[in-house]
Amino acid sequence: MKKNKKILSGSLILSATISSLREKINHRIKYKSRPPHLCTIIIGENHPSKSFLIHKTSAAQMSGMSIKNYFLPDNILPNSVVKIIEKENKNPLTDGILIQLPLPPSLKNYQPTFTSTISPLKDIDGLHFENIGLLFLNTPRFVPCTAKACMLILNKIKFNLEKKHVVIIGRSLLVGKPTAQLLLNSNATISICNRSTKRLSSITKHADLLISATGSTHLISKDYIKKNATIIDVGISIINKKIFGDVNISPLEFPKIKNITPVPGGIGPITIAMLLENIWLAYLSNNNIKDPCL
């Protein structure tokens, strides 16, 4: 079956990233260096979150990285989580620390505490306030992975952001806000909305680029989309064990659009690829490696 070139799959990008990093890591090991090491923390029994973490750790292992996972109960005390983070901050063999989001409802208000406890030099999700500040100053250390994935795919399709109108639906620190800042840094004109925005379709209809990241199943229909628009669907929701995105467009409508990322298999694999890149960057920085080829 012939592939539709309008559909922007992320699987090849992830595969290429894994291969590239595996080669670099094997080169480091050959010269008696250790591989990059990732520490992950997941709290509670959020099955979609656990599933995504499995995909992340599997990709990291395939690239040659080592991993330590903390699986914690949802009734764990916040101070216990902080102690684990502080322990890994002090561990010279840990390059990156990732706390899987979302947190359980009982700990949701502690997210800023946890992310700001992670050392900014090991904050591979880019959520420490220091790293957020550097991003807004256009001198980023670590860019949040999904935002970085959105920019990579736009670069791959050579999407010129200057004089383009971009509509982002979603305002999270993981996706909406950092993506908006990256787009502003590229001279795009931005409108930021959310699922409660009144007359949402009247705004999205003017978007040359539409990025939806709400997790609201099929929020966006064909009536929300401008002709020849590019669509990046970041939203994920699971109903009856099936994965859905924010965008509900029939293949019959594809002639109307320029490009679209599928769910699943679109932005998700690229997000994992960008996470691997951030771990690699942290590894180089934390070990004072200026030239990874040496």
Residue 46 binned pLDDT confidence (cut-offs 50, 70, 90): confident
pTM over 0.85, yes/no: yes
CATH 3.40.50.720 occupies which residues in the chain? 145-267
What is the spatial distance between Cα 17 and Cα 64, in angstroms, rounded to a whole number? 12
Quickly tell me which residue has 């990046």 as its tokens.
232
What are the tens digits of pLDDT across the range 145-194? 999 999 999 999 999 999 899 999 999 999 999 999 999 999 999 999 99
What is the spatial distance between Cα 103 and Cα 100, in angstroms, rounded to a whole number? 7
Provide the b/e sequence for 81-90 (b: ≥16 CB within 10 Å). Answer: beebbeebbe
Q: Where does 33-118 sit in CATH, by number? A: 3.40.50.10860
Q: What is the pLDDT, as a whole number, of residue 254?
A: 72
Query: Can you name the CATH fold of 145-267?
Result: Rossmann fold (3.40.50)
Report yes or no: 292 and 24 within 8 Å, Cβ to Cβ: yes
Annotate 177-217 with DSSP letters as a single string.
Answer: HHHHHHHHHTT-EEEEE-TT-TTHHHHHTT-SEEEE-S--T
Q: Is 262 helix (H, G, I), strand (E, B) or coil?
A: coil
pLDDT averaged over every residue in the chain:
93
When pLDDT is averaged across residues 204-229 and rounded to a whole number, the result is 94
The CA–CA distances, whole Å, from 40 to 6, 85, 105, 255, 270 equal 35, 10, 19, 42, 19
- For the chain, the distance separating the N- and C-terminal CA atoms, rounded to the nearest angstrom, is 44
Which is it for strands 230-233 and 209-212: parallel, antiparallel or unpaired?
A: parallel
Q: What is the pLDDT, as a whole number, of residue 239?
A: 86
Report yes or no: 111 and 263 within 8 Å, Cβ to Cβ: no
Rounded to the nearest 5 degrees, what angle is found at the Cα of 233, between the Cα atoms of 196 and 266?
160
What are the tens digits of pLDDT across the range 139-156? 999 999 999 999 999 999
Q: What is the pLDDT, as a whole number, of residue 2?
A: 45
Higher pLDDT, 50 or 128: 128
Given a cut of 60, whether residue 111 has pLDDT beyond it is yes
